[in-house]
Structure 1
Amino acid sequence: MGKWTQTVTAKVLGVGVLALLMTIPLLQVRGLVSERQQLREGAIAQIAQGWGGKQVLGGPVLVVPTLQQVAVAENQPSQWRAGSESMLADALKLDVAMAVETRSYGIYAAPVFVATVKLGGQFRAQDLAQFRRASNAPWQGGKAELRLPIGDLRGLQEVSDLRINGQPARFESSAERLGPWPNVVVPVDLDTLSDRPIDVQITLKLAGTEALQLLPLARSTDVTMHASWSDPSFIGAALPLEHKIDAAGFSAHWHLLDLNRSYGQHWTDVDSDMSAALQASTFGVQLYQPVDVYQRNVRAGKYGLLFIAMTFVAFFLFEVLKRLRVHPVQYLLVGAALATFYVVLLALSEQIGFGPAYALAAAAVAVLVGGYAMAVLRARRAGLLLGGVLGLIYAMLYGLIAAEQYALLIGALVLLAMVGLMMYLTRRIDWYAYVPTSTEPPAAIMEQP
């Protein structure tokens, strides 16, 4: 048993166990990345608290108060309950101009915007008449409200113009909600309109953070949006029919019909599934930040065990082919240096960006491990070669991180090539041979060709 533990095979198994032990610090690093990402999200929440969060904006919705007859219990007379019915516009047009800037909270930054929105909505007279006839509950007089849903009312900076059929009006605050979103409302008297169409014109400024989504609250919704941000991510239930992106920013155009959504032009407040249906119909843009250091750090960490194992294999090959002896503690010190790479990368990438941070961290670890290998292996050439191999490994890792769509293919080919190279280099090793010790002369562990 004692002799078997001195074989090359036992050494390989020991190196494998040491590589697995290095998963412990790698998991700690992954937890650190998650913690820093949560700190960033908290910083963005602080920015949004004083500016406005991710915004959602809809069109005007006509809401009429009703009296609905409901059954209380069996053999009991029904009772009247106050409710409401909602109707959407025939046409909705939005012209959105976003002024974007980046705001910082500590070392963290997030894109914020002020959107100048020109909104026009039209309710047809025949739709209003049909709405009244189709109602299954008597209306409470002619009093109604036009409600405008806004995701975060803290971001409503200004309403510079509000006109109903050409007459100026004013929004009022309200405790009512449209789905999950709060509203601002303006009262209207349907009796005075005498079944005439309702034309609503609104100009407002809406501030928010990272994203602006819109609601298709009309039979026909037409949206034009442009902003000075060159990395938009179009999100939600509908992509733009046409868009243009260049260094100066982007412009986009959407056109949606009522047939493109899962709810109709009219519903009552007892429709319990409306909130989910409304949320599912949102569309718009997210101000994407292409240099997401945390996402890239997570992707780099996923290959940590693989590259620690590859470095250990390189050490092992030098040890066996050169008939040297490396202590397990020395393997652990090399593994600790490799794990430290991810901590240094995370710390630097928050300050100077991912690319420069990666280059500095990789260079530092390659020099550190290469210099240590010179002392351990007592060969300058071996240390330089190992440092160069480690630099090549980190270059391949960066390629895997950068190639998002082809990362799996490239990684699989690199892994296959590395396995093939190790098989070639170890093809003449006698795995039953004893590992040389410091007290005995080196034993020949390579077969004669």
Structure 2
Amino acid sequence: MVKWTQTVTAKVLGIGVLALLMTIPLMQVSGLVSERQQLRETAVAQIAQGWGGQQVLGGPVLTVPTLTQLMAVDNRPPQTLSGSESMLADELKMDVALAVQTRSYGIYTAPVFVSTVKISGQFRAQDLAQFRRASNAQWQGSKAELRLPIGDLRGLQEVSELLINGRPARFDSSADRLGPWSNVVVPIDLDALADQPIDVEINLKLAGTESLQLLPLARSTDVAMRAPWRDPSFIGAALPLEHQLDAKEFSAHWHMLDLNRSYGQHWTDAGNGLDGALQASTFGVQLYQPVDVYQRNVRAGKYGLLFIAMTFVAFFLFEVLKRLRVHPVQYLLVGAALATFYVVLLALSEQIGFGLAYTLAAIAVVFIVGGYAMAVLRARRAGLLLGGVLGLIYAMLYGLIAAEQYALLIGALVLLVMVALMMYLTRRIDWYAYVPMTAGPTTTGSASTEPPVPPPAIMERS
């Protein structure tokens, strides 16, 4: 009596279980990719440690110390509460030119830059008078200061010019912060200005790693930026009004109003959600690296199970249609070779780039699996054909990885075609038939006493 486990259907189910088992090494490879990506992030942090991290730069903010008289309670003498109030400029213009280079830490690289920034801002006299009248506290105008927020002070290389109403001044360090960012400050005497406007001119050099974001700290903020980098990623609260890209550089222009942000021109102290509002208003550019090997390795791994299953299906079709037989251990060995492809791809791509690494890893696995198929199926033509099918599969996988925006569409069409092809090739298979045995070599002089194993039954057309 024929056992159910000897049917073609049982073989298909067994192959499916083997394919699912291959998710274990694929998950291990995915974890390895994440680990290597974390090592790269650690290397980038080491580069930023001595150069300057991801930078944020704002315009000058006028901060005035205040004294508030509290009402007497229970016959106690009145108390005086010290604080501060800040106001923003009416106009702010920033001209930013980035000089970009790539720095390495071991095998890892990161784009770094030195930005030459020209800042000009104006505080109107009528705004100063209005905010002073609207304040419930006493302004200490002689102790006011202009603060310039900077994300990472380690990157501040030079302040070549600082002019306040045409007179040179000098920044000092400060422990005070604006939101999450540090400040450099310059004292200013509002009482001596006698309700005059304040014009500020700043020229500086600021170094950083991977990204530069700006703060719209004025009623009207106008920013022009340019850099020799062909793959900018514009990030933050606002996209540029206009930008130009070519093979070597980009330029961009932003214009923001106070109406485009969630905080006003004047506030008392910090808090009340101001930190979050300031962070949400940043905008700028990230020096995007489109050839990031880890992103592509992650995307390749997502299709790992699909392509292992497709390779197993190709072996199964040869096994059934050519009346051969492949042992489950041989399927596992083929699956192990396919999983090893992703480890080799990761290791090589860190050294020689993703495209060349993918080509070399795919060629190696195609030759290994194709040669093994020749031995297992005992047919050179079958091995060559399976090797060609596997090469075609890797070519399709690379197309899916390269087609970032159309990967889902291409993958869906490929999957549909493969399912249709499998249905066409297996349309005449009797799934209740015996599993075929591989035909052995003939022996001269004696006849085998074993009865021949019948081939899979073929359903007749009606």
Give the whole-Å Cα distance in 1 for the aligned partners of 2:341 and 2:55: 39
1:27 aligns with 2:27: yes
Q: Are 1:243 and 2:249 an aligned pair? A: no
Q: Distance in 1 between matches of 2:31 and 2:72?
A: 55
Unaligned 5+ residue runs, structure 2? 439-449
The residue aligned with 2:293 is 293
Secondary structure of residue in 1 paired with 2:138: coil
* 2:446 matched residue in structure 1: none
Distance of 2:76 and 2:389 partners within structure 1 = 86
CA–CA distance in 2 between the matches of 1:52 and 1:222? 25
Which residue of 2 is the match for residue 389 of structure 1? 389
Task: Give the CA deviation at 1:248.
Answer: 2.5
| Partner of residue 405, structure 2 | 405
Q: State how 1:356-371 maps to structure 2 within 5 Å.
A: 356-371=356-371
2:380 matched residue in structure 1: 380
Q: Which amino acid is 1:282 matched to?
A: T
Post-superposition offset of 1:322? 1.1
Match status 1:61 vs 2:72: no
Aligned partner of 2:7 in structure 1 is 7
Amino acid at match of 2:324: L
Matches for 1:3-402 after TM superposition, within 5 Å: 3-69=3-69, 79-402=79-402
What residue ranges of structure 1 are gaps of 5+ in the alignment? none
Q: 1:407 to 1:70 in 2, by over 3 A?
A: farther
Give the Cα–Cα distance (whole angstroms) in 2 for the partners of residues 201 and 443 of structure 1.
92
Give the secondary structure class of the aligned counterpart of 2:381. Answer: helix
**Partners of 2:75 and 2:376 in 1: how far apart?**
93
- Residues of 1 paired with 2:250 and 2:417: CA distance? 43
Structure 2: distance between partners of 1:26 and 1:117:
48
Task: Tell me by how many angstroms 1:83 deviates.
Answer: 1.1
Partners of 2:77 and 2:314 lie apart in 1 by 86
In structure 2, distance between residues paired with 1:96 and 1:261: 22
* Structure index of larger Rg: 2
The alignment's TM-score, normalised by the length of structure 1, stands at: 0.97
**Any idea what the Cα deviations from partners look like across 1:365-411, whole Å, max 9, x if unmatched?**
11110000000000000000000000101111111111111111111
Amino acid at match of 1:46: Q
Aligned partners of 1:398 and 1:407: how far apart in 2?
A: 10
* Distance change (3 Å), C-alpha of 1:163 and 1:141: closer
Query: Which residue number corresponds to residue 435 of structure 2?
Result: 435
Cα deviation digits, residues 397-431 of structure 1 (max 9, x gap): 11111111111111111111101110111111111
Taking only the aligned residue pairs, the percentage that are identical comes to: 83
CA contact 2:326–2:376 (8 Å) conserved in 1: yes
CA distance in 2, matches of 1:104, 1:312: 42
Q: Report the residue type matching 1:445 in the other structure.
A: P
Superposition CA RMSD, Å: 1.7
TM-score norm. by structure 2 comes to: 0.94
CA distance in 2 between counterparts of 1:72 and 1:341 reads 78
How far apart in 2 are the matches of 1:97 and 1:46? 25
For 1:379 and 1:72, how far apart are their aligned partners in 2? Answer: 102
Q: In structure 2, how many angstroms separate the alpha carbons of the residues matched to 1:442 and 1:398?
A: 42
Q: Once the 2 structures are TM-superposed, how far is the Cα of residue 71 of structure 1 from its aligned partner?
A: 8.3
CA contact (8 A) 1:323 1:442 kept: no
